[in-house]
A and B are shown apart, each in its own frame.
Chain A
Amino acid sequence: MTVHLLWIINQSGQLIAKSSFTAPENIGELGAKPDLQLTMSSILFSTYGMSQELTPNANPVDSAGMTLVECEEHNIHIYETPTLVKFVLVSDSRTRECNALFRELHSLYVEYVMKNPFHIVDEGGIGQPIRIAAFTGAVKRAVDRYHAAGVSNATRK
């Protein structure tokens, strides 16, 4: 029930926010070389589009992209908002779903980012990073509460 990393990717495929919640070594090379996250997040954006194209037996209008990538050590969870902003969470491989956390993060995004009159969403076609300390703090607290809830659930079992 551990979440290591959050990416927020805008509708153009640009990484506009990233937050780490555990030590860098938990996410391998992406922890050792944080700049790599810019590249890998845009690559993930491209593969999301590919996963829609590969949908068998579906009306193309109904196609939806991948919601979970299961790896041996990690799960990558993806949540797309109706405005095509994507929230990506990298967790340990035992975390099956993060839907409640995603909804909470989406609410925080609306509350702290979209309602902020000084946040520039898009400048000359280039998405702007989210540099709002209150948002970053709120995200950390939400994930800390999520981790704490996971621990208490594990203790209860």
Chain B
Amino acid sequence: MTLYSIYIFNRYGDNIFYMQWNRTSAVQEGEASLVAGFIYTLQHLSLQLSSTGTSGLRAVQTPFYKLHYAETMTGYRVALLTCRNVSTALVQGIFIEMFRDVFHKTLTRDLNYRHKPGCMITNPDFAEGLEALFRSKQLLE
């Protein structure tokens, strides 16, 4: 299984975290904004199809990659780009662990982190915890 990149956005749409792994193409200018618009649009479409009004986007499959998506109640959004054969259910489970464990331990408890516009994730423990989680799930080696 191959990981390409991860984006995390806060409720204001700021790209507060980016990391890449097996990626050989250059990061395009404005790419984070394009990802933010992309996931926002598909999430909105999904909610409009929903009979409960709350069922959201899980993943987008293309012939070359797969984008996995999750959103917290507080408005944090994560988009993970992987190769096409990574299971949606596996990544949804990883997202739950990421927010419950890694995010909570390294950011919610970080006195320097604020839930406000423009505040980036700068705690290196978050990136380390995230990679450790991905390695434990065999997404990284």
**A residues within 8 Å of B by Cβ?**
25-30, 36, 40, 43-44, 46-47, 50-58, 62-74, 76, 90
Contact = CB atoms under 8 A, between A and B. Distances in A.
Interface string B1-42: 000110000000000000000111100100100110110011
A51 B60 contact: yes
28 contacts: A27-B51, A28-B48, A28-B49, A28-B50, A28-B53, A36-B48, A40-B45, A47-B38, A52-B62, A53-B34, A54-B34, A54-B65, A54-B67, A56-B23, A56-B65, A64-B63, A64-B64, A67-B62, A67-B63, A68-B59, A69-B42, A69-B45, A69-B61, A72-B58, A73-B55, A74-B46, A74-B55, A76-B45
Contacts, number: 115
Contact of A63 (B56, B64, B88): B64
A53 B33 CA distance: 12
A71 B25 contact: no
Given A64-B64, A69-B61, A73-B55, 14 more contacts: A27-B49, A28-B50, A30-B49, A40-B48, A51-B67, A53-B34, A54-B35, A65-B62, A66-B60, A69-B42, A70-B57, A71-B46, A72-B46, A74-B50
Contact of B81 (A43, A52, A54, A68): A54
Interface residues of B, number: 37
Contacts of A51: 38, 60, 62, 67
B84 to A, nearest CB: 9
Nearest to A47: B41
Nearest to A41: B45
Contacts of A28: 47-51, 53
Contacts of A67: 61-63
Given A50-B34, A57-B24, A71-B55, A90 B64 contact: no
B65 A70 contact: no
A121 B35 CA distance: 33
A30 B48 CA distance: 6
B45 A66 contact: no
B42 A57 contact: no
Contact of B23 (A57, A63, A65): A57
